Amino acid sequence: MHALTHLKSFVTIGEKEFSMAIPTFDNFIIPFLEELKDNQLHSMKVIKANIAKTFKLSEQDMSELTNSGYKKFDDRVGWARTYLKKSLLISSPERAKFKIEERGIKALNDNPQNILKYLEQYPEFLEFQGKDKNISQTKNKQIVECDDNQTPQDLIEKAKLKMHAKVEDDIMYAIFSKEKEDRARFFEKLVTKLLCKMGYGGSEDFIIQKCGKSGDGGIDGIIKEDTLGLGKIHIQAKCYSPTHSVAAGDLRDFGGSLLRKKSPKAVFITTSSYTKPAIEYAKENDIILIDGKELLRLMIDYNVGVETKEIVELKKIDFDFFEDED
């Protein structure tokens, strides 16, 4: 348990004292877990409100912006959520709600002084951090050796990957924050927009020729392979929660419809993942699979649902300028 003591414009959690306004994101990680320690599901809205009360943040504090224009509080609590999810300390089994996992309970009991160092015991966190690691097992602990001989360019690339991971987490949260009916309409719009950005033919209004309603918030239709419609691709998309994997039965049903429609090319898209039998069936029947991870990558690559907030210019010397003229 972290004792909370408030002194004027400072708040003390454990043995740490923070100056108001907004603490750094790592200082929100343990308070985020504290909000979930009853082992119940809690919404992000409630979690953020309670954390704000814990730190006694004023409306002025809450409206403070980063240099990029984001609200500092929302941004930093969002990063805390991402770190916890990537480390598997929390999960999101229902729409926009979070639950503590066994690792999270252990973290509260361990009460680490340095939470970021503490998370390095988990391979999933190291992978998220993009760290080179050699993990060896001893009797009582894991020893993680990280290669810190990184150039500034290496650090920039890793920062980019980390930012993309945060954006991916935010996209999934935004999708599943919607009510079921709204989510179905939005998912159709999302897939249509993405396919159009990827160069498939027709306008966004007519890119998908629907073959019927799936009844589960998905899409069943045919898209033009090019602007002239010389080729066609049968597509099916399922907006499933991350814990609901697409099974082989879903692919077999899709495969059956392909035979009836004599469609030689097919793509199956989901926000979740695929079971091993489903992947094997797709390989045997030449069905292209796009899972949630790939879908998010494509959305970022083709600027669907994301925007460029800031461009950083990196300079290097122009050696030609300094060469002696003949």
The domain made up of 181-301 is a member of CATH 3.40.190.10: no
Confidence of residue 54 (pLDDT cuts 50, 70, 90): very high
Contacts of 92 (CB under 8 A, 6+ apart): 85, 98, 99, 173, 176, 242
The pLDDT of residue 165: 87
Using CA atoms, how far apart are residues 162 and 185, in angstroms rounded to an integer? 30
User: What value does the mean pLDDT take over residues 277-287?
Assistant: 93
pLDDT at 27 over 60: yes
Q: Which of 36-45, 224-233, 293-302 has the lowest mean pLDDT?
A: 224-233
Q: Could you give the residue range(s) of every CATH 1.10.10 domain in the chain? A: 4-129
Residues 6+ apart with CB under 8 A from 19: 9, 10
For residue 284, give the DSSP letter.
H
Say which range, 52-56, 88-92, 145-149, 248-252, has the weakest mean pLDDT: 145-149
Lowest mean pLDDT, pick from 106-110, 198-202, 245-249, 290-294: 198-202
pLDDT band at 3 (very low <50, low <70, confident <90, very high): very low
The model's confidence at residue 296, banded by pLDDT at 50, 70 and 90, is very high
Once rounded to an integer, what is the mean pLDDT over residues 130-150? 46
Dihedral sign (CA 276, 277, 279, 280): positive
Q: In whole angstroms, how far apart are CA 66 and each of 22, 73, 77, 221, 224?
A: 11, 9, 13, 43, 43
- Give the residue among 158, 153, 159, 164 at the shortest CA–CA distance from 308: 164
Instruction: Report how far residue 220's alpha carbon sits from residue 99's, in angstroms, rounded to the nearest whole number.
Output: 33
Query: Confidence class of residue 146 from pLDDT cuts 50, 70 and 90?
Result: very low
- pLDDT in the model for residue 202: 61
Phi, psi of 211 (to 5 degrees): -105, 0
Structure confidence by residue, pLDDT tens digits, 107-139: 999 999 999 999 999 999 998 887 655 543 333
Whether the Cβ atoms of residue 193 and residue 204 lie closer than 8 Å to each other = yes
Q: What's the rounded mean pLDDT across residues 133-157?
A: 51
The string over 113-146, giving b where at least 16 C-beta atoms fall within 10 Å of a residue's C-beta and e elsewhere, is: eebeebbbbbeebbebbbbeeeeeeeeeeeebee
Long-range CB contact pairs, 19-23, < 8 A, 24+: 20/55, 20/56, 20/57, 20/58, 20/61, 21/57, 21/58, 21/60, 21/61, 21/64, 21/72, 22/57, 22/61, 22/64, 22/72, 22/73, 22/76, 23/55, 23/76
- Higher-confidence position of 11 and 57: 57
Q: What pLDDT does residue 269 have?
A: 93
Q: What is the pLDDT of residues 254-268, one digit of tens each?
A: 888 777 766 678 899
For the chain, what is the mean pLDDT? 80
For residues 299 and 167, the answer to whether their CB atoms sit within 8 Å is no
Q: Is 78 left (phi over 0), alpha (psi -120 to 50) or beta?
A: alpha
Residue 7 clears pLDDT 60, i.e. is over it: no
Provide the whole-model pTM: 0.64
Position 182 scores a pLDDT of 84
pLDDT of residue 102: 96
Listed in order, strand segments (DSSP E) in 62-101 are: 90-94, 97-100
Most confident by average pLDDT, 35-39, 175-179, 236-240, 306-310 = 35-39
Given a contact cutoff of 8 angstroms between Cβ atoms, the answer to whether 277 and 247 are in contact is yes
Distances (CA, A) of 58 to 20, 49, 80, 119: 9, 11, 20, 30
CATH entry, 4-129, from 1.10.3470, 3.30.70, 1.10.10, 3.90.1010:
1.10.10
In whole angstroms, give the CA distance from residue 171 to residue 309: 15
Percent residues over pLDDT 70 in the chain: 77
Distance CA 231, CA 176 (A): 33
pLDDT at 320 (0 to 100): 76
Return residue ranges of the chain for CATH 3.40.1350.10: 181-301
Q: Which of 136 and 36 is assigned the larger pLDDT?
A: 36
Q: Which pLDDT value is given to residue 205? A: 57
